[in-house]
Amino acid sequence: MADSRPKKAKICLCIFLCLLVGGIIAVVVGVRMWRHSSEHMKWNGTGSTARFQEIVLERCYKYTQSVQPELRDRDCQKIREAFRNAFISKDPCSATEEDYHPLMKLVNQMVPCDKTVFWSKTKELAHQYTKVQRDMFTLEDTLMGYIADDLNWCGDAGSYEMNYQSCPHWKKDCSNNFVSVFWDLVSKRFAENACGVVQVVLNGSISNAFDRNSDSCSGSSINDLRQIIRQRNIKFTCQDNYSSGKFLQCVKKPGDSSCR
């Protein structure tokens, strides 16, 4: 009768090796999952906006079909995909303008001359103005600004999921996050495409209206802006309005006798 002990030894060895390999795989997977969950909680900023992709698609359809129907030929499905592909599976602190170039090609839009409105720390007022003057455009009145306004987004390197727990804060974590780089890029393109008369809505009664403290059209930061504009042979005019509440009322009701 043949001795079966060597076979038993081989079987036991195989079982041991399988258990060992299985244990190593479980440890690796566990560590990766722990690291992934830790990364989701490490940032100091707000997480991605809930229903981000649905909101992007809904806003795109509304803008191209109702707000600016002349852009109805834009493909909102491709715009949503390009937006997501710009940041998904990437380090949320390593954003570049190139990440958004495919998206920018899909949403190319020119604002007519004399219709551009810039604002700083006066968002509500500027938008009330363009609601009345419907042919005027702030950045948020363009397709890309309209889609992304007040949204937040980020992913994680190596993950196809969005991070809804936290995203990088531009001061506490990194300035080259995907939201900051996006707004820097679209703001720059919006400014570069401006032509003719350009209107700027600033609050000269607050500090740092234009990089430095200012309290009126004669304030230091507004004077800096005046000099920069005039050095470029661009006409500059500034009008003081000491009652922002009245100004907002006049924007909403331009026919009011108190606004004349």
Residue type, 105: K
Q: Is the pLDDT of residue 213 over 60?
A: no
DSSP type of residue 70 = G
pLDDT category at 120 given cuts 50, 70, 90 is confident
To the nearest whole number, what is the mean pLDDT of the chain?
81
CA 164 vs. chain centroid, Å, equals 15
Summarize the chain as % helix, strand, coil (round to 5).
Answer: 50, 5, 40
By the 10 Å C-beta count (0-12 exposed, 13-18 middle, 19+ buried), 81 is classed as middle
Q: Which of 12, 18, 195, 259 is catalytic?
A: 195
Known catalytic residue at 174: no
Residue 163, helix vs strand vs coil: coil
Annotated catalytic residue: which of 14, 113, 167, 259? 113
d(CA 157, CA 89): 5
> How large is the average pLDDT for residues 228-251?
67
Q: What is the pLDDT of residues 57-78, one digit of tens each?
A: 999 999 999 999 999 999 999 9
> What does the domain layout of the chain look like in residue ranges?
43-110+140-194
Q: Quick one: CA dihedral 183, 189, 190, 191, positive or negative? A: positive
How many angstroms separate the Cα of 22 from the Cα of each of 155, 167, 240? 30, 34, 74
Q: Which candidate, 130, 102, 98, 103, places its Cα nearest to that of 116?
A: 130
The total number of residues written for the chain in this structure:
260
* pLDDT at res. 212: 47
Nearest alpha carbon to residue 177 among 81, 99, 83: 99
Span of 7-21, 79-93, 195-209 with lowest mean pLDDT:
7-21
pLDDT at 21 over 60: no
Question: For this structure, is 113 an active site residue?
Answer: yes
3-class DSSP state of 112: coil
Share of the chain above pLDDT 70, in %: 69
What is the pTM for the complete model shown?
0.70
Q: Which amino acid is at 28?
A: V
Helix residue spans in 63-192 (DSSP H): 76-87, 101-106, 123-132, 143-148, 178-192
- How far is Cα 8 from Cα 75, in angstroms, rounded to an integer? 66
Q: What is the DSSP letter of 111?
A: P
Domain 43-110+140-194 grouped into CATH 1.20.82.10: yes
